[in-house]
Structure 1
Amino acid sequence: MFAIAQKQQQYKTYILSDETAKSEVEVVPERGGIITRWRIGGQEIFYLDTERFTHPELSVRGGNPILFPICGNLPDNTYIHNGKQYTLKQHGFARDLPWEATEQRTEDKASLTVVLNSNEETKAVYPFDFQLAFTYELQGNTLEVRQEYKNLSSEPLPFSAGFHPYFLCGDKTQLKFEIPSNQYQDNKTKEFHSFDGNFDFNQDEIDFAFGQLKSKSATVIDSSRKLKLTLDYDDFSTWLVFWTVKGKEFYCLEPWSATRNALNTGANLTVLDPGGSLTTSIRLAANFF
């Protein structure tokens, strides 16, 4: 049985649930359209810094933040369009703006659609008209995010997009990764290195970007939590970014459509024709063993 409930906390929160599977997802549209929590059998899948979440001026550290119209950061946070310089902060603005909850369904799954439209605030830093419509679908132990990007401008719409999921973890040395790439780029040094499936968690921070993906699926096994997590994606996602910080109970495995600075370099940049649209999705599955 599927259901959608609402509760008013600091923000209106939508709770999608599959009562048979004892799974539920919490969505906060006005706080960046974000999924803040995902539970299965009462166990949290996502990490959430609840104290930081209460401060609207701070970016959310936790849940599944939305990245648009860029992933990562730009040099000096700037890019040029039609000879004019614009400033865009890291990961863009979609994760900071209020979205609107629209369609809800509970027939064969619990689903909620949230929408973000361009406005004067977005056009000051990104001079395009657009609409984003994301549908969160919960069924059993799987969470799917269907995305539609629409260009409402009279000129081509350039963008990259992705997600920044924070997964709650136990002992990081008991994490086993299957990432479909043989190399990564270290964002701090910009150097490329071969990848053998292991990370050195003694580092203060790990920020690695994996390109040339050989399949459309990645898995992480957390032996300390007896949890296997699978991330499936389609051709839209061309990079997976792994990020974590020493001493924190999370790791991030982020599907990106393009790597950093694509708005300037054009590498893997998506460009929609006027009136055009693009649909894509990611799927997460969590299995305890």
Structure 2
Amino acid sequence: MPEAIRIENAFLTVEVSPLGAETQSIVTSDGRSWLWHGDPAFWAGRAPILFPIVGKAPYDRLTIGGEPFAMNQHGFARRSTFALIEHSGDFCRYELAANDETRSQYPFDFRLSVEHRLEGAKLTVSVTVTNQVETSMPFGFGFHPAFAWPLPGAEGHHHHEILLDNGAEPALSRLEGGLRRPALLPSPFRKGRLALDPALFVEDAMIFPEGAGSSLIYRAEDGPELHFTFENLPNLALWTKPGAPYLCIEPWHGTAPIIGTGAAIEDRPSTLVLGAGEKSRFAYSVTFPAA
């Protein structure tokens, strides 16, 4: 496996692995490390890319056009080796093209292009999905980055919270066996604010299928804050393992299916369908405190 490559500027140093085109570390110029370090005692991931599904499939089986396929949770992109296409001081681009292994799970010729770009104290990760076949291509897509909790410089008794820029109170969806329960629950947000507590995650991830908006702040009381913006990502999830020192802030376009709705990829919530030759772009940006 080729080693991770590094991009950097005066504010940030970021490492990206060819395995899954996954962000490995984000360090500001003052030496503070913001991304979860992937300790397998809790969770070995750091910032996986989710494609061609988000979440689980019933019994890890999908049907596509009525034909059954095996598909692990969150798809295969995060376990695939990407090719490095372009690398400069503050930018890199990896790509994954369909191959025999991917076609055995997902019978489409696609191209997945993943870019990491630095602009001052902002990191933008963008993904372009291209359908290279003459038939329609259904899929889901998501980001799954894990950030330190507590944030660097806010260790101790600082309270952490999520602030939705739209001030909304989106309804909550919960999982059972990796699939979404049918009922939506009252929002844990109050006027766009959610006070973070490990107890919120005893029942697994918190999923907000709609209404969370396209930007938020993750911050510590009287401490650092991270500013996020999302592009073409209408669903939001928050997740950690209770007691683990990270928080996943996950913008998605697609979710796990609702219990009882079957295995068809076409029927999964927020599934996208690209026509022949079409592309779709997804991105998130996060701005870090200046050193």
Give the TM-score normalised by the residue count of structure 2. Answer: 0.84
Indicate if the aligned counterparts of 2:209 and 2:236 stay in contact, CA closer than 8 A: yes
Amino acid at match of 2:37: L
CA distance in 2, matches of 1:80, 1:68: 15
Does structure 1 residue 194 correspond to structure 2 residue 187?
A: yes
Amino acid at match of 2:119: Q
Structure with more of its chain in strand, by fraction: 1
> Could you tell me which of 220, 231, 236 is aligned with 2:228?
231
| Cα deviation code 1:160-180 (max 9, x no counterpart) | 111110101126871111135
| Cα deviation code 1:13-63 (max 9, x no counterpart) | 211111x22x1000111x11111100112111101125679xxxxx8422x
Q: Using CA pairs below 8 Å that are at least 6 residues apart, which structure has the higher relative contact order?
A: 2
1:4 aligns with none
**1:198 shift after superposition:** 3.1
How does 1:53-202 map onto structure 2 within 5 Å? 60-62=44-46, 64-106=47-89, 110-170=90-150, 174-179=159-164, 180=166, 181-182=168-169, 183-188=171-176, 190=181, 191=183, 192-196=185-189, 197-202=194-199
| Cα deviation code 1:195-248 (max 9, x no counterpart) | 232344235454111122253101111238x220121012x2011101011111
CA distance in 2, matches of 1:259, 1:173: 32
* Aligned-pair identity (%): 24
| Cα deviation code 1:239-282 (max 9, x no counterpart) | 11010111110011100011113825243211111111122321
1:208 aligns with 206
Gaps of 5+ in 1: 1-9, 54-58
CA distance in 1, matches of 2:91, 2:113: 13
SS of 1:95 mapped into structure 2: helix
1:25 aligns with 14
Q: Once superposed, what is the RMSD of the aligned Cα atoms? A: 2.3
Amino acid at match of 1:174: H
2:23 aligns with 35
Indicate if the aligned counterparts of 1:206 and 1:242 stay in contact, CA closer than 8 A: no
Name the count of aligned residue pairs: 266
SS of 2:288 mapped into structure 1: strand
Aligned structure 1 segments of 4 or more residues deviating by more than 4 angstroms: 50-53
CA distance in 2, matches of 1:257, 1:204: 24
Gaps of 5+ in 2: 151-155, 258-263
CA distance in 2, matches of 1:96, 1:34: 10
